[in-house]
Chains A and B, each alone.
Chain A
């Protein structure tokens, strides 16, 4: 800056040396008008160009007249980005399939496909009596095989819908990025409802995000889908949930882990509604399953360093750990615990299946991990291999097909089926169609939308992660219904409600819960 232009803000003491630019540490003079105008013009040009060059609109639009407007609010940045990206991709895959005239097999019929009569071995194969290896004879003595009915594991789950799009209208996806920020969720939801006038909104990962959205959806009578596993209890006429529930995930994993590793459990949960309520479920169900919660810790969502939690776990010495930690900040627990030498088995309803920690962290950080998942990419059935190959054809750089991407996919197809059944996108008619008792062949297996509770029955598999981070499925529960809210008397068909039940409102939990 020229010395001649200076107007020092503090008065100089008498005799002070001023004017030498080199020694003027007191900062440049205040900005002149010319500088301001130049800077503003440059910024304006840069922003204008930047918009065109970088081209990052956060709304994906296709211009179609009379298209069905499909709103999606999934985080693509922030703490929950890796989950949101997966669900966004699942929705896009489903919409593409629907627009091309495909749909999931299903309807109000029962589970599975047609049975076929086939020849089945009467006894399991036996080892060769002399060579002691190889399954040689099927049976010794008696009939070698008999005719029985076996289920037809259909290797494809997509059938032609006889329609292009839904009722002849293509689906247009409007998906802004809420950046894992609750305020953004709410303002974007209002924009989708009032300005874009969408026909349905799906979205939300964390339970906090869902509960921020639900009042807005109810106020505006907007059909809302929450496609994520969570702590259960939502009984809302306008909300449908396709994710797994505690009775579908927590109870099976507790059952298995207590029987296999022992009754002493230590709970590590994220400190918000999901973590607290899942921990309440665990504490209440522990006595029935012959388990014992010896300690618990709730960790705020912003914590990234876990030394004190690890030390407390080492002091408590549980038989196995119950993990309800969420988000990318909390995922850091696994490498840190591994470096500190913790070798305790872990059971969870979320990690690995949702956040693919077994691929993100180097082995053996996730060794001895068990999760009850409604879907995982590693499921070995023929139809899942087809699903994975279709997904990876559309998204070749997808890091992992997570549980909730599958939930989003199934939800989108279910919505399309319901609209076709209702013959209109009018929200009340679609809700009535969804309550008619629809089951579909999802890539995970057959799932059924329960009319009374607006939740999906799920096909649950227990996955185990070993030292090399290979996944094997130890047990499966092909059909677990969402029975908890039914026990509370929820029947959204007869008595519409707009709330979330917590375990505190269930007298059964009050008996068993010890804080």
Chain B
């Protein structure tokens, strides 16, 4: 009985954390590197889901290929959007907010006009696992694996490649990095494209689990924003992981015991508490700790 309950809780935690990570990762790196809030993130996820549905139903591609198509497609769209629109708002955070909100409206209503209110579904792979008396959905465990894998790939890119070093330099002090010859515009362009591609991947992965409608992005964007704010933009990797973990640890057991509604409330209250005490989020707090440690080490 105990093993059953434990397995159930772990499964809920993994599912929740995967959802938060996948929804928030793209937004996190865009905020962390470029310091721009992309309100169209939910619509990028919706675009990824639509691309998956189209390539599955019309192109008859297998699901993994559809996910790649979504990533590439939404990444290219992000590239174009960055080149035409976002780069005018690097210094103007509020302007970026309004502009990306406009983009989100255009995307959702545009998809509604072109494709109608709903899209043919993508089938849900039936990977049922049974542990004792409970049965679990293997697809969601795979999503957890993909989420952690995405974070790992991001970490490797940021810490073990030249472009990663350049990106971190741009995050730390963009002007200094520019003086040293780093092409900041290109970094920002690639980051925005990468963030969009991650959003496309999320849409592709969650497309089988939901009905694909033009407004489906709204279900992802609210938790994404909460996760990003709690995580903080200072360090996308640390921020995403700690924020998703903490929020899931609090909301998953609550949802398990008292229902989805209470789980949601728990998530929001947890976010409130964290922001009250750590206004810069977890990664901001970690960065301040590091700085204090460096300052203490440097002091005589």
Interface, chain A (partner B; CB < 8 A): 9-10, 13, 16-17, 22-28, 31, 54, 56, 76-79, 81-82, 85, 271, 297-300, 302-309, 311-312, 314-315, 328-329, 331-332, 335-336, 338-342, 360-362
Contacts and interface: CB of A to CB of B under 8 A. Distances in A.
Interface string B251-290: 0100110011101100000000000000000000000000
A332 B210 CA distance: 5
Contacts of B123: 362
B292 interface: no
Contacts, number: 143
Given A25-B174, A77-B112, A307-B11, A312 B256 contact: yes
Contacts of B209: 304-305, 332, 335-336
A25 B210 CA distance: 39
Contacts of A298: 259, 261
A82 B15 contact: no
Contacts of A299: 259-261
Interface in B85-126: 87-92, 112-113, 117-118, 121, 123-126
Given A339-B125, A339-B126, 11 more contacts: A13-B175, A16-B175, A17-B178, A17-B179, A298-B259, A298-B261, A299-B259, A300-B260, A314-B8, A314-B134, A315-B134
A312 B259 contact: yes
A25 to B, nearest CB: 3
Nearest to A9: B91
Contacts of B185: 22-25
9 contacts: A13-B175, A56-B113, A82-B117, A297-B259, A308-B12, A315-B134, A329-B211, A339-B137, A341-B130
B213 interface: yes
B188 interface: yes
Interface of B is mostly: helix
Given A17-B179, A28-B88, A305 B19 contact: yes
A340 B136 contact: yes
A388 to B, nearest CB: 22
Interface stretch (B24-32, B215-223, B225-233): B215-223
A309 B259 contact: yes
B168 interface: no
Contact of B215 (A16, A26, A78, A271): A78
Contacts of B213: 79, 81, 328
Given A300-B260, A304-B210, A339-B128, A10 B12 contact: no
A305 B19 CA distance: 9
A27 B88 contact: yes
B263 A23 contact: no
A105 to B, nearest CB: 35
A81 B117 contact: yes
Given A271-B261, A300-B261, A308-B252, A77 B214 contact: yes
B229 to A, nearest CB: 19
A23 B259 contact: no
